[in-house]
Each structure stands twice: as structure tokens, then as C-alpha cells.
Amino acid sequence: MKIQVMPQELVKRIGQCQRAISARTTMQILECIRFEAKEDVLTLTASDLELTIQTSMLCKVQEEGVMVVPSTMIGNIFRKLPSEETILEEKDGVLKIHCADSYFELQVPNPSEFPEVPEVYSERQTTVDNDALSRAVTETEFATSLDESKIALTGIFYERRPDSIRLVTLDGYRLAVRDVRLSAEQEVFEESMIVPKRCMIELSRLLSPEDRTTIRTVPGHIFFESGSLKLYSRLIDKTFINYEEIISEENQTKVVVDRQAFRDAIERASLLTQGERAHLIKLDFQDDGLHIASNSELGHVNEFLAMEIEGEACRIAFNARYLLDGVRALQSEKITLYLNGMLNPMVIRPTEEEDTYLYLVLPVRIAGE
């Protein structure tokens, strides 16, 4: 194998692939990136057997072939090379790198030891705008469970609906749901699965906002393709909770507040709770406005916030961290809060697009009330 590349372009592709490499792997071959040169295209692949990332770039191919190279070493070398055309030549397990006045020789593993890339062929596919998909991941991933004994809840529930895709996460304390509308010309079908959280986070980090992503699935795997980027992931083979049973349409109180002002007030009120396990803050919705308070051994704090209220006054308490996670994820100017007494969950929706996002958070019982 012999190719000519520009270092800065290869560094970008190496960085993309390195996101699939686990720092905890015990298999040396999984610390490597597979290089394949064919017909003036260089394809790079990395995998940890659960997540596989593949990307490609144009290059000058003098001799087609395949090699695998330790990821950290090749990345470090190319980040230090000058911005001049570089020759990579591999023969009999030795990789030679020549750029300007720099010359390296590396021992590289046998490429036959590298795992095969999963084959994902499906006539059904879904295409979605990258910025909408990345936003959906950002607005839901934080509500996954960290409890490995509840493996289904550690992932993101992916639902293909007739006219949208839906991402759902929950951890027993809160629930996040985001819908992404699909264009009318797309095929109508339904399917659902649990995708590992890491897969969705890495995907959102790698996507170019101006492009689109095609999604395909086969039993046990999901496949994302956007431009020169391909990402394959194993699915979590578990059954997700019937989350729709958790969502109640009943509410006694409806409140509209400025999202940034609400966030700032909660962040200030939670400053005195940071050393406490519950991070407890109290919200008191009254006709004159919203009163926010917290108490700890350090002292107490009170905040007042203007709001629009319909229905009954309500006093309720939450873990400030859980409440803030949902508010921080949103981008809307105003949010609408739906309450049904002090012991039932509160639902938060963006006022401008209420039908596309929902964040539900459980309250904390206030002692003595």
C-alpha cells in the first residue's frame, strides 16, 4: 500500500475514528485504525466491537492495499508534521512515513486481525437534518440512567413513527421526549429499538450541521450515514419501559415563564444546596408570581420571578439538578410548566413548539407538608 495525503486532512479523519476506540480495551488490535486505499479513496475504520466509525477522503493512491496502524501513534505523528504532502508506504508489516525532512518507520499489526465492519442492508431508511438530530440528542441524552443493572434505561429509545422519529430517555426521576418531524415524501413505517447512549453522543458530535443523515436498521444493529461519515452500533437487546403511561395530560396549573430567567433563578437558589444530596429547592406558584427558595446549613435564599399562571396556586419541591438539566437543554425563549399538585410530576414544554418536546421531572416530598 502506498498513498500521498495532506496531514491536516488526515488528522481530521483520524480524530473522527478515535471516538470509536475505547480506552479500556484489552485487545491491541482495537487500539488501531484500519486504512484501506482503493481508487483514489482512503477509508479509515475504528471499532470497539460495539461502536464502529468509518470515514473516507480523497488521496493519491499509488498502490492499493490495507493496513492497520496504532491510533495514538499515527495521530501524534501527523499532528506534528508540516502542512506538506506526505507519503505513507506499508510493506511486510513496516509503515514508512515521509514528509519534507521527516521520516518514520513503524511496525504495524497484521490487518487480518481487525474486526469486520457489520453489513447493514435495508430497503427501509429514514433521512433527517443533522442539526435537528443533534439537537434531539442534546435534549434527551442527559436523562439516561447510570445504573448498569437497568441496562435498558442506559440507552436512548429510538422510535420511527409514521411522520417523525422520537428519542426517549428516562432514569426513574425524569423523562425526556423529543420528536423530529420528517419530510412528507419519506416512506411511512414504524419500528423501535434502544441505541447505546455513547453511540448517539458521538454521532451528534461528528455530524456537520448543514448536512443530512440516513438511518438504516437491521436486527441487532443501527447504521448512520452522513457524507463521508458512517457509524455502526450494536443495539441494546432489552425491552424499554412503556413511557407513555407515565405522561399525564391532566393538570391543575399552567405556568409560562421566561426560560433564561427561570434557569438563572434556579441556579442561584441551588448555590446553597450543592453540598447536600437532595439539592432541594422549593417552588411556590402564586397569583403574584413564582417564589423560589432553598435552605441549608449554610443559610437560605429566596428568588422571585414574574410569570403567567392559569389554574390553582401550587407549592412543590424538586432536586435542583434534575430540574436544571431539562431547562438548560432547551433553546426556546419561553417555557410552559404543567403541574398537578405537589406530589405529581411537573411537565416542561417549550412554549413555541409544545408538541415536539416534553421533559417530565418527579417532585420531592416536602417534610411536614
Beta pairing partners, 155: 196
Look-up of cell digits 441524552: 141
Strands 2-5, 60-63: pairing is: antiparallel
DSSP label at 155? Answer: E
Contact by Cβ (8 Å): 136, 167: yes
Residue 244 has phi, psi (to 5 degrees) of -65, -25
Beta pairing partners, 215: 126, 224
| Separation CA 115–CA 71 (nearest Å) | 15
CA nearest to 289, candidates 312, 264, 307? 307
Q: Determine the pLDDT at residue 369.
A: 58
Q: Please give the grid coordinates belonging to residue 275.
A: 453540598
With residue 133 as reference, give the H or E element that holds it: helix 130-138
Q: Determine the pLDDT at residue 275.
A: 66
Q: Please give the grid coordinates belonging to residue 333.
A: 425563549
| Separation CA 94–CA 116 (nearest Å) | 22
Q: Determine the pLDDT at residue 16.
A: 97
| Separation CA 183–CA 149 (nearest Å) | 38
Q: Determine the pLDDT at residue 127.
A: 96
Residue 187, classed as helix, strand or coil, is: coil
Q: Determine the pLDDT at residue 366.
A: 76
CA nearest to 106, candidates 59, 72, 82? 72
Count of other CB atoms within 10 angstroms of residue 286: 12
Q: Determine the pLDDT at residue 25.
A: 84
Q: Please give the grid coordinates belonging to residue 102.
A: 521527516
Residue type, position 21, single letter: I
Residue 360, classed as helix, strand or coil, is: strand
Q: Which residues of the chain have a pLDDT value below 70?
A: 275-278, 367-369
Q: Please give the grid coordinates belonging to residue 130.
A: 443533522
Q: Determine the pLDDT at residue 329.
A: 92
Residue type, position 141, single letter: E
**For 198-279, where are the E strands, in sequence order?**
212-218, 221-226, 229-234, 253-258
Contact by Cβ (8 Å): 283, 316: yes
Strands 253-258, 308-311: pairing is: antiparallel
| Separation CA 33–CA 76 (nearest Å) | 13
Secondary-structure percent of the chain, ordered helix, strand, coil, rounded to 5:
25, 45, 35
Residue type, position 60, single letter: K
Q: Determine the pLDDT at residue 368.
A: 59
Domains of the chain, earliest start first: 2-113 (3.10.150.10), 126-244 (3.10.150.10), 247-361 (3.10.150.10)
pTM higher than the cut 0.85: yes
Tell me the per-residue pLDDT of 114-161, one tens digit each, with 9 for 90 and over: 999 877 778 899 999 999 999 999 999 999 999 999 999 999 999 999
